[in-house]
Amino acid sequence: MKAFCPVCGGEVELPEDVMPGELLECQSCGATLEVYEQESAFKLREAEEIGEDWGE
Ligand SMILES: [Zn+2]
């Protein structure tokens, strides 16, 4: 299972037992990424942005 890094656009391999909220590191750019679920698919966002206003 793979997802795309929002920072560099590189592919990031997801563990088979990945859970939303889990933090992964992009092997390409070193960014810390948070896993989230959207439309039954796992996607990644920059974990460093946690704490900012997401406009919810
Ligand atoms: Zn990256």
Query: Model confidence over 1-56: pLDDT tens digits?
Result: 999 999 999 999 999 999 999 999 999 999 999 999 999 999 999 996 555 565 65
In this structure, what are the phi and psi dihedrals at residue 47, rounded to the nearest 5 degrees?
A: -70, -25
How many Cβ atoms sit within 10 Å of the Cβ of residue 25? 13
For residue 43, give the nearest of 30, 11, 31, 8 by alpha carbon.
Answer: 11
**1 Cβ neighbours under 8 A, 6+ residues apart:** 13, 14, 16, 18, 42
pLDDT of residue 42: 94
pLDDT of residue 50: 53
**Distance from the alpha carbon of residue 32 to the mean position of ligand 1, in angstroms:** 8
pLDDT of residue 43: 96
**Pair of tokens at residue 37:** 């679920």
Q: Tell me: the pLDDT tens digits for 10-20?
A: 999 999 999 99
Residue at 32 is within a domain: yes
Domain residues for 45?
2-49
Residue at 56 is within a domain: no
**Distance from the alpha carbon of residue 35 to the mean position of ligand 1, in angstroms:** 13
**Distance from the alpha carbon of residue 13 to the mean position of ligand 1, in angstroms:** 11
Count of structural domains within the chain: 1
Q: Which CATH number fits the domain that encloses residue 24?
A: 2.20.28.160
**Distance from the alpha carbon of residue 40 to the mean position of ligand 1, in angstroms:** 22
Residue at 55 is within a domain: no
**Pair of tokens at residue 28:** 């390409």
